[in-house]
Amino acid sequence: MAEALLSLVNVEKHFGGVSATDRTSLDVRPGEIHALIGPNGAGKTTLVHQISGLLSPDAGSIHFDGIDVTHWPMYRRVRKGLVRSFQVTSIFSQLTAIDNALLAAQAGAGSSFRFWHPVRADKALHESAGRVLARVGLAERGSRMAGSLAHGEQRRLEVGLALAARPKLLLLDEPLAGMSPDESQQMVDLISQLKSETTLLLIEHDMAAVFQLADRVSVMVSGRIIATGAPSEIRANEAVRKAYLGDEVSA
């Protein structure tokens, strides 16, 4: 069995008397799509905030690629290859799609921010930005203002911006939220293709997408991981069905 790329051991985060994560342990293996599921309020987003560095845990440890990153700020984790998207779309809506991609490509290349004219004149960055848009199916949308793109296109653009950082592990926080069926299928297809490029940790409420995509699934309830296994094992787990899945999927 491959050594974990990401390993959380007894991670805790408390807000007053509420334990958002309660001695939570989780391993993500290299090359897998690992889904994290659970009801609203289970602590999934708080856990992802701690993995990405947006929040610091009160106890426990987080190791990534063999290094203890428990107290690293987010930017250091990004440089190491631990990159995330957000539950709410996070793009520069008043810039074009290509300018969004240019900024992401520049950051991913480790360039200093010389901004507009030099960046737009940099052929290598333009080529990199073009590849970002093409990778997420937006090659023909480069001149469009990002805020004018359809919701599904904005979400794919955000994934592209994350890919520009060259992640070893990409955290996707509810990438299908608010999408139409067609948009959801386009995102599912994209995520499936990304497996050949990076490891993914997927937080998602769409169970059809989760069971289609995931190699392994972890179920979080009340701040704790109650089960981890292959999709078939999670479907058949009586405790999981009682706590979360119910009649949403058939065994």
Query: What's this model's pTM, rounded to 2 decimal places?
Result: 0.88
Residues 109, 188: Cα–Cα separation, whole Å: 28
Give me 181's structure tokens. Answer: 């069926």
For position 111, what pLDDT does the model report?
53
**Cβ atoms 169, 66 nearer than 8 A:** no
For position 245, what pLDDT does the model report?
66
pLDDT in tens, 173-216: 899 988 999 999 999 999 999 999 999 999 998 999 999 999 99
For position 251, what pLDDT does the model report?
35
Residues 154, 145: Cα–Cα separation, whole Å: 10
